Structure 1
Amino acid sequence: MDTILCDELLEEVLRRLPPRSTFSLSTADVSLVSKRWLRLYRSSKSNLRLRVSPDNCTPPSLSSFLSHFPDLTALCITIDAGVGGGGNDVSNFPDQILLSVASSCPKLAGLRFRSEPVSPIPLLSLSTSCPRLTILYISLSRPFSFRWLVFLPSLETLGLLFTPVPCEVEHVDADSKGNFDAELKLKTLNLFGIRRGDYGFDWLWKSCKNLKKLQLYRCDGIGDDTSASSFVNCSKGLQEVELRRCGSIVNDILSRLVENCTSLNSLLIYDEGSSEGLLQFITHSRFNLQKLDLRLPLDLENHHLLAVAEKFRGLSSLSLDSCFLVTDEGLKTMVLAMSNKLQELTLVNCNVETGFVTTSGQSFRNLRTLNLSYNEMLVDKEFKLILASCNCLRRLKIRGCKGLTNASIFSMFNSCKRLESVDIMNCCQIEAEAVELFVVNCRGLRQIYVEESKLSDISRMWASNKFIDVIVC
């Protein structure tokens, strides 16, 4: 058979194999068959993840290795710290590796470069060597300039991590010198670690006139004093905003969105916020929010949920995580108000109780995704009431629900005939026999998360025969 298959046909077969599988053959296995299969496996591969360090890799050796992957379009490289053996300059190692990538991957469209900060020189090399680059994630150090972005005209998604400096340095606002206007094609911007007073962001916000998605993580500012007006212009067309651990600027961002943005349809706030600021945002917003994701243990209360129920009745996706101050009554009122449109519901560690289940259990007829993970008070009887109306459910997560037993497994495949993905990790009262019965009887199942100790030989066989992706730990 190996001699009958030509290279082109075998490459196509390798492309169609799953990237990973618990019980069946995957691309990681076929590369071990022979040198020919290894060569064709590499030439058919379009994405790659690598972990390198100065102790086990040199830029020339990386270039040589990458040359075996002519169709590589997506690359993720993680650089570990090393002592710099073999004469490598550790301080310059990330720049050298990035230059090697630029010279070896002309078809690259997406690059995630997890390392110490890089300098503008290899970034400029990317612009000439990888003209198709549309996604880039890198680290920068202060002081910094963003002018190199104009040489990446195809870039649509940019992620920047701003590393702290050991001592205060004199900021150089290089981007404000001279009249240099630009209009970047960026649609998604992910920024990690902006400090209050950072220079250069005025030019960045001015240049992001097409921005649709903004993600801020651990930021306590949006730049220096000149950046505020530019940020307003940048925010007008935003459709998605994510604020993770940005407590000191959440109020400011929300108020600017209310004043200037009418197109927002998705909002995520994690870990820090302001109770009053959030309420003002909800009650005064002018947009039709479709997705709301909140993890505010100390800042979300019942009156916020009542405001959400009144203002955003068209929500299709609602996620609450560890919102300890909300009660059963607040959850019930909010979910009932939007149940006809709701397609995704996540209530993680929110103390889901009997009253909520009894009242809202018949209100999830359009629900496609349900996540009730880590609700330890949830028991079989209430869980069955919820599933009774979830005829369209595709994805279900009950990870860490210690009150659920084998009876809940029976309810799942009896009530939800269209289930495709299920997470039953850390459900200590669900046993191997119930898992086996579920794998055998759930016809549409394509993915299951479960402990390896709960997989019987019969479960493994049926999972393999039905091409079910089993994720174990």
Structure 2
Amino acid sequence: MKKPNKKRQLQIQQKKQKTFIMDTLFCDELLIEIFHRLPPPSAVAVSLVSRRWRRLLRSSTTSLSLNFPPPYNPTTISSLSSFLRQHPFLSSLSAAAPALCGDGGILLSVAASCPNLRHLQLSSSPVSALSLYNFSNSCKHLSSISLAVSRPLSFNWMSCFKSLRCLSLSIKNPLAETDDSSLGSVKDAIFDVELSLESLSLSGISPRDYGVGFLWRNCKNVRKLQLKSCESVGDYSSFSDFLRLANDLQELELRSCRSIANLVMLTLCENCVSLNSLLIYDGGSREGLLQFLNQSKCSLRNLDFRLPLDLDNSHMIALSENLHFRGLMSLRLQCCCFVTGEGLKAVGRALGGALEELSLINCDVVEREHGLLTTLGQDLRKLKRLDLSYNDMLHDKEVVSMLASCDCLVELRLRGCSRLSDAAVDVMVRRCKQLQRVDIAYCSGIGVQGVEFFVLNAPCLRRVEVEQSKLSEAAMARASDRFMQVVC
């Protein structure tokens, strides 16, 4: 019989002694403070040290993110309740459970175990209005909810959440031909009450979802509105009144909402003067947007467009001529196929005194018109953030000529610009002394030496995004010494 290795036994014994000392030497308060200062991945290791450490870690945890992969196990819900009770100070919970939430199972567990919860996000099958109503009786302190709901829509459960400020709802289940969706709006009209929502996000609204009118009638203080993949706004009359009375609306996002974009833009340009941020992706109204840019009296600060087929020079000219937009600080354009240098130069001349962020992502005008970037750099002297990502035909000369005028840059993103070389990196270091964040990932022309030169010589660099294979030992050592964040 093989004798035990004495050296191995000694190592195990010493390890146990160290663990015992660590487990008994520090008081609970000190250990909790140490736990809070550790990076998130270390939590798994902490829970394995001892039962005391695991108990302290769970009792001091305020935020959890859980994932329940298939197949579904009936004991999961009961186990979840027990697990959540070990986190008495939990205030934020995110759970992904595609097969568990259809009957409100997770909501029941949360309601029984987390009475002090403030933020809840569920990625699951749709939850019924009845489940939400029962849930609202237990977790009344919630300030943020994000989940999927089922048709027919009913929102009488919202009156119980007095602290609710942020609501994100995704409508997923199909609407049956025999469903009378107007019934939900009639029932909810009885429960009309002014809500204190400041942020509202809705996804998947269909033409017969009249129940959404409850939200339009009762959300008078919304500052941020997000609409995603919506074919309709449900009750058009209530929605129009909502926009006309939305004196506090500051941010609007439309994503894949071509069917309603024209209505929204025309109503906004007539009424809303408080808007300062507008985002429209993947489907807009060329005429409605043009009228908004020509006639709007709101003082926009941020514009973000991804409209390959709906954005052209006329919109850029209108943007440059509207005096109310002279304070615009951020302009982000993606895939702007029909915008030419003429339109961008007009914007540069008009907004050069205020614009601090410019993004031209995957815009072939950057590659098509030589000298455009040089002109923009000369006009936009206050530029602090520049994003030219995914312009794969962009050459060193164009970038270098623009950077020569951009002395105030703190953030530069060139991801996917495969034609750039180490020569561009040299100019970044020499001309952009204030650079703090740089993204040069997937720039195949920039090699190990270029990355090393940048990391070693950029005086203010705090974050760099680049492939792992391009990081030399010297670059990694320098990044570690300066507590630089390296993202691969």
TM normalised by structure 2 equals 0.88
Is the alpha carbon distance of 1:131 and 1:464 closer, same or farther for their aligned partners in structure 2, counting shifts above 3 Å? farther
Residue 315 of structure 1 and its aligned partner are, at CA, apart by 0.4
| Alignment match, 2:311 | 300
| Alignment match, 1:124 | 133
| Alignment match, 2:249 | 238
1:12–1:44: 8 Å Cα contact kept in structure 2? Answer: no
1:260 aligns with 2:288: no
Is the alpha carbon distance of 1:10 and 1:446 closer, same or farther for their aligned partners in structure 2, counting shifts above 3 Å? farther
| Alignment match, 2:86 | 68
Which residue of the other structure, out of 194, 200, 209, is the alignment partner of 1:183?
194
1:14-163 superposed matches below 5 A:
14-19=35-40, 26-52=42-68, 53=70, 55-56=72-73, 58-81=76-99, 95-163=104-172
Query: Deviation digits for residues 352-393 of structure 1, max 9, x if unmatched?
Result: 143212212233332222111011232222212222333332
Residue 349 of structure 1 and its aligned partner are, at CA, apart by 0.8
Distance, in Å, in 2 between the alignment partners of 1:50 and 1:464 is 31
Secondary structure of 1:318's counterpart equals strand
Cα-Cα RMSD: 2.1
Is the alpha carbon distance of 1:398 and 1:31 closer, same or farther for their aligned partners in structure 2, counting shifts above 3 Å? farther
The runs of at least 4 consecutive aligned structure 1 residues that moved more than 6 Å come to none
Secondary structure of 1:419's counterpart equals coil
Distance, in Å, in 1 between the alignment partners of 2:48 and 2:485 is 22
Residue 28 of structure 1 and its aligned partner are, at CA, apart by 4.6
Query: Deviation digits for residues 11-62 of structure 1, max 9, x if unmatched?
Result: 1122123336xxxxx4454444444433333333322211115625611101
1:272–1:296: 8 Å Cα contact kept in structure 2? Answer: yes
1:206–1:233: 8 Å Cα contact kept in structure 2? Answer: no
Distance, in Å, in 1 between the alignment partners of 2:85 and 2:402 is 54
Residue 237 of structure 1 and its aligned partner are, at CA, apart by 3.0
TM normalised by structure 1 equals 0.91
Distance, in Å, in 1 between the alignment partners of 2:450 and 2:282 is 36
| Alignment match, 2:343 | 330
1:407-446 superposed matches below 5 A:
407-446=423-462
1:214–1:238: 8 Å Cα contact kept in structure 2? Answer: yes
Residue 93 of structure 1 and its aligned partner are, at CA, apart by 5.2
Residue 297 of structure 1 and its aligned partner are, at CA, apart by 0.3
Structure 1 unaligned segments of length 5 or more: list them. 21-25, 82-89
Secondary structure of 1:75's counterpart equals strand
Distance, in Å, in 1 between the alignment partners of 2:384 and 2:141 is 36
Is the alpha carbon distance of 1:220 and 1:439 closer, same or farther for their aligned partners in structure 2, counting shifts above 3 Å? same
Is the alpha carbon distance of 1:225 and 1:396 closer, same or farther for their aligned partners in structure 2, counting shifts above 3 Å? closer
Distance, in Å, in 2 between the alignment partners of 1:225 and 1:289 is 25
Distance, in Å, in 2 between the alignment partners of 1:36 and 1:410 is 53
| 1:147 maps to amino acid | N
Residue 397 of structure 1 and its aligned partner are, at CA, apart by 0.9
| 1:50 maps to amino acid | L
1:350 aligns with 2:367: no
Is the alpha carbon distance of 1:460 and 1:303 closer, same or farther for their aligned partners in structure 2, counting shifts above 3 Å? same
Is the alpha carbon distance of 1:335 and 1:225 closer, same or farther for their aligned partners in structure 2, counting shifts above 3 Å? closer
Deviates more, 1:383-392 or 1:448-457: 383-392
Deviates more, 1:64-73 or 1:29-38: 29-38
Is the alpha carbon distance of 1:424 and 1:41 closer, same or farther for their aligned partners in structure 2, counting shifts above 3 Å? farther
Distance, in Å, in 1 between the alignment partners of 2:231 and 2:115 is 37
1:340–1:365: 8 Å Cα contact kept in structure 2? Answer: yes
Distance, in Å, in 2 between the alignment partners of 1:58 and 1:185 is 35
Among all aligned residue pairs of Structure 1 and Structure 2, give the percentage whose two residues are the same amino acid. 48
Q: State the number of aligned residues.
A: 458
1:156-235 superposed matches below 5 A:
156-165=165-174, 167-172=176-181, 173-177=183-187, 179-224=190-235, 226-233=237-244, 235=246
Work out which structure has the larger RCO, using CA pairs closer than 8 Å and 6 or more positions apart in sequence: 1
1:353-372 superposed matches below 5 A:
353-372=369-388
Residue 399 of structure 1 and its aligned partner are, at CA, apart by 0.5
Distance, in Å, in 2 between the alignment partners of 1:93 and 1:61 is 18
1:269 aligns with 2:269: no
Is the alpha carbon distance of 1:152 and 1:381 closer, same or farther for their aligned partners in structure 2, counting shifts above 3 Å? same
Structure that is richer in helix per residue:
2
2:375–2:402: 8 Å Cα contact kept in structure 1? Answer: no
1:79–1:94: 8 Å Cα contact kept in structure 2? Answer: no
2:151–2:175: 8 Å Cα contact kept in structure 1? Answer: no
Residue 432 of structure 1 and its aligned partner are, at CA, apart by 1.6
Distance, in Å, in 1 between the alignment partners of 2:455 and 2:43 is 25
Larger radius of gyration: 2
| Alignment match, 1:84 | none
